[in-house]
Each structure stands twice: as structure tokens, then as C-alpha cells.
Structure 1
């Protein structure tokens, strides 16, 4: 009986080592292509919300300070990264702030928001979403996202009827939770911009 236990344990150990080696090999093979694909997706999102920019430069932001700022202002969202949008001469035109909204109806929603130096929102571009097809995922469409474009407000609010002011966003029919998640995410970016970036990053 003891010999059988030892034999089975050895087989299990060898099997585990082999599987671990294979998984490690697969990771090494795929990590670069995955990283390149993620970077390409991010760059496309940056360009979508800042068409005038010639290039983008990573802004070294403090993630903990950003989290604290958002929490103090009542947001559960997370700032994932900040890019400076540059013209051909290297002048900063504004910023692209990538945020994860954690209050979507089906999970987290990650998207990038473009904000000009004067606080005008260029719009947003979604990079990750699992909202319900035909309902919440309409947040990715131009019909919904255009409501935020070229608006300079302190914050947006979601309404269920046709907007009567620049800061009002008409909710997607049947997807109010998603609409509020997107709006909270944009508002979180505006709050971060106003407190950390407006007037030029130091």
C-alpha cells in the first residue's frame, strides 16, 4: 500500500511539473503578442478621444493619491493611467485619462476619456466591457457617447428624458445602470483633471 502511495505521488508530482513547464512555455510565447495587442488597443482609444494629438506621453500619476481623491468625492471608480496628448511640437493639448467604472450592470467597464486643457470633454472610447448585448453595450455607440462630446461642465447627470442642459445625459433605454456607470466614470475623470491636471501638470 505504501509503495502504491509513493508511486502515485511521484506520478502526480511529475505530471504537475510537466504541466507547469508547458504553461510557463505558453506564457512566454504569448506574453509579447498579448502586450502588443493591448498597447494597440490603448493607442487606438487615445486617438479616438484626441484626434488632434500627434502623439501621447505617459504621465506619471500617483495611483494611491488618485484613489483617495475619488473616494473623497464619492466615486468607486479607479484611474488606471493618464496620457498627455501632444501636438507635433510636444505641446500638451490635454489629457487622456483611463478609468475603470466598477458599477456596471454586468461588471467593470474600462474606457479612456479625452479632456482638453480648458476642461472640455472630447468624449470616451471603451476598451473593455461585458454589458448586456443590445442594452448596456449601447454605451459603446456614437448615439450615446456623443452626448458627452465637446461639453465643458463640472459633472454630468443621467436623466430619463431628453436633456435640457449640457450636463444632462439621456439614459440608454433599459440600461440605466450602465448609463450611470459610464457617467460616473466620466465624472471621476473630470474630478481628477480638475484637481490634478487643470492648468498644466507639474
Structure 2
């Protein structure tokens, strides 16, 4: 009987110690877990390479803009990252879009889509997403089918006009939100674009 009592007491002590250590470890890792849940390092590097981490900011969601983060390097704010949803050829497309403090698109990344394999799916390839890097946000971007000759022009993917325009629409939505809600600028009413009326392409 005494042996059972000693064994029970020992197990109780071990369990209590384990509980304390687990709680301590949880507190140490909680912030890191929450930070990592926002976006992974690969995504962040793709859209805002100079950022080390992101911080939540308060904002009102719109139909297009779902998440907004302040991107920092140490104590320095280097830009903002926005999660934006746009309408593709086969349904919604989710993007991460970075805008740096020098008022340029720092990068974009496609998070999910259902676009046509081999055509619209090319919007997720670096060959296309890199076309947005360093684009100034002074005015809305436009889709063109030829080699761009203006800073605000982006060449579409051949045979995937609608998917290309959906990407440009997402970036423009991010730019407008950034100007209005982060910089506090007045922005003209959104113009109807070809992306809003297009019925062909993939």
C-alpha cells in the first residue's frame, strides 16, 4: 500500500513539473507561432525581400482586400503586405502583394487559383509575377498585349488575357487601398477596366 502511495505521489510530482515546463515553453513560442501563422518566410521574401517580419494593423476589410500587414526590418517599416482576392477565369484568385515605402510594387505572389493549366495558371510563374516588380503606384496599372512602353503597363500572358487582367485588378485594388487607408490620400473612383467586362481568355 505504501509503495502504491509513493508511486502515486511521484507521478503527481512529475506531472506537475511537466505541466509547468510545458506552460513555460508555450509562452516562449506563442508569439513565434502567431507570427509564422501570418505568412511564411518564403512568401514574405517573394513580395517584400527587405522585410524580416510583419505586424498586424487594424483595418476595415473590403470585398477585395482581406488582410493587411506592416512589414518591418528591425524597427524600420519597409512597406506593407496585402492579401487580395480577384476574380479569375475559373473563380477567385488569392494574391499577396507587397508595396514598399518608396511607393512601388515590391512583388506579388499567387497563393491559390483554379486557372487553366498551361494558360491562366502561368500567372503564378515568376516569369509573369516579376513583371510587376518595381512598378510605381502613381497610377493604376494597365494590361497590354505588346511590349510595355509605359511604367504603368504590364504585358499579358498570351492566351490568358482574363487571368492576366485579374492579376492587374488585384494589384490595383491593393494600390488603391494602400493610398486611401495607409497613406491617407484621396483616390479617384475606380474606373471600369477591361478586366471587369472581359468574357474571353483564360
Normalising by structure 1, we get a TM-score of 0.69
Residue in 2 that maps onto 1:133: 117
With a CA cutoff of 8 Å and minimum separation of 6, indicate the structure with the bigger relative contact order: 1
RMSD: 2.2
Residue in 2 that maps onto 1:173: 158
Residue in 1 that maps onto 2:168: 183
Query: Does 2:144 align with 1:159?
Result: yes
- Structure 1 stretches of 4+ with a deviation exceeding 6 A read none
Asked if the contact 1:42/1:127 (under 8 Å) is kept, the reply is no
Cα distance in 1 for partners of 2:177, 2:38 equals 25
Runs of at least 5 residues in structure 1 that lack an aligned partner in the other structure? 1-34, 68-76
Counterpart selection for 2:177 from 192, 196, 200: 192
More helix by share: 1
Counterpart selection for 2:58 from 57, 60, 72: 60
Deviation at 1:118, TM superposition (A): 2.6
Residue in 1 that maps onto 2:88: 104
Normalising by structure 2, we get a TM-score of 0.69
Cα distance in 1 for partners of 2:130, 2:56 equals 26
Cα distance in 1 for partners of 2:78, 2:126 equals 23
Deviation at 1:182, TM superposition (A): 0.3
Runs of at least 5 residues in structure 2 that lack an aligned partner in the other structure? 1-32, 185-202
Residue in 1 that maps onto 2:71: 85
Instruction: Give 1 or 2 for the bigger CA radius of gyration.
Output: 2
State the aligned residue count. 151
User: Residues 40 and 86 (structure 1 numbering): CA distance in 2 closer, same or farther, change over 3 Å?
Assistant: closer
Q: Encode CA deviations 1:35-86: one digit per residue, 9 max, x unaligned.
A: 99x93755532232111111110111111xxx2xxxxxxxxx5111001100
Cα distance in 2 for partners of 1:84, 1:42 equals 15
